[in-house]
Structure 1
Amino acid sequence: MQAVQVVCRKATTDDIETLFQLIKGYAEKGIMLPRTREALEYMIDTFVVAEIGEEVVGCGSLTRLGKDLVEIRSLGMSEGYKGVGIGSKLVDALIEQAREQHIPKIMALTYAVAFFEKNGFTVVEKEIFPEKVWKDCVNCPKQLACDEIAVLKMLN
């Protein structure tokens, strides 16, 4: 695939259906939590999308877990666009948002450990994030058998 111009921007309500379908594809594979259209509308201001031309080809969101911690969530790309740098551009945009909010720690729960390590994250024990455990994990179907890996990046 040749070099493409990827632009990241804040998501708008016009992106909800695209976000819903993108996340649904990952959720059906069991690698991302599903989100309803209503939930996406409610949290649309936490999302960033990646576009090539007029087409949304990726998304990610940043959710605050505490005064000094945010989580990258719902990070994904459309089929055919993996491996061309879109994920890294989305992570960079989300890191920039965390910096603008003066939040020093950014974490994620992931199966794509190598991707996050390439983007400056370090594998850590997920138990160091009680904010995440109490906010989300208590309602997760994988709660007692979580196989995701926690990664953390300290911002300066």
Structure 2
Amino acid sequence: MYAVVTCRAAVPEDVEALYQLIAGYAERGIMLPRSREALHRQLEHFVVAEIDGELVGCGSLCKLGEELVEIRSLGISEGHKGQGIGSKLVDTLIEHAAKRKLRKVMALTYEVSFFKKNGFEVVETSIFPEKVWADCRHCPKQDRCDEIAVLKVLDI
């Protein structure tokens, strides 16, 4: 039996848990690190998943263009994977994008099957010049990117 998962907007008290969760992924080279200061600055863009008051997952949105938003920093703590928490976070982030009239939701990922299960399709990264110019040119993997681009177009 799975516990009840609640998704909500991140608050300042979440920053340390967010930092630790993201750092765990960053140490394995599968997520960009975020400093505590950056998390404080970007907090309004984050949602978190909780079980009994414990932060067990997170994700954020970053607006890249007039209609385009990126899902970033999507992660689930060890011991809580495979329980549908990631899908619940993605659904919450998509709701936020729809409310903001951002109809194209993209991500760069190593977890293609997860995103396909959540209604995304694989696309060429080159269709997102906004992403390339905003972030990729600063990335250490810029010339050897191994992430896969996925996109979901919303009916809004």
Please state whether the residue corresponding to 1:66 is helix, strand or coil.
Answer: coil
List alignment gaps of at least 5 residues for structure 1.
none
Counterpart of 2:141 in structure 1 is: 142
Measure how far apart 1:52 and its partner are: 0.3
What TM-score, normalized by structure 2, do the two folds share?
A: 0.99
Aligned pairs for 1:24-43 within 5 A: 24-43=23-42
Equivalent AA in structure 1 for residue 60 of structure 2:
S
Counterpart of 2:118 in structure 1 is: 119
Measure how far apart 1:3 and its partner are: 1.7
Counterpart of 1:63 in structure 2 is: 62
Number of aligned pairs?
155
List alignment gaps of at least 5 residues for structure 2.
none
* 1:12-65 deviation digits (Å, cap 9, x = unpaired): 111000000000000000000000000000000000000001100000000000
Counterpart of 1:152 in structure 2 is: 151
CA distance in 2 between counterparts of 1:4 and 1:96 reads 22
Please state whether the residue corresponding to 2:114 is helix, strand or coil.
Answer: helix
Measure how far apart 1:146 and its partner are: 0.1
Aligned pairs for 1:41-120 within 5 A: 41-120=40-119
CA distance in 2 between counterparts of 1:131 and 1:117 reads 22
What TM-score, normalized by structure 1, do the two folds share?
A: 0.99
Aligned-pair RMSD on alpha carbons? Answer: 0.4
What is the identity percentage for the equivalent residue pairs of Structure 1 and Structure 2? 66
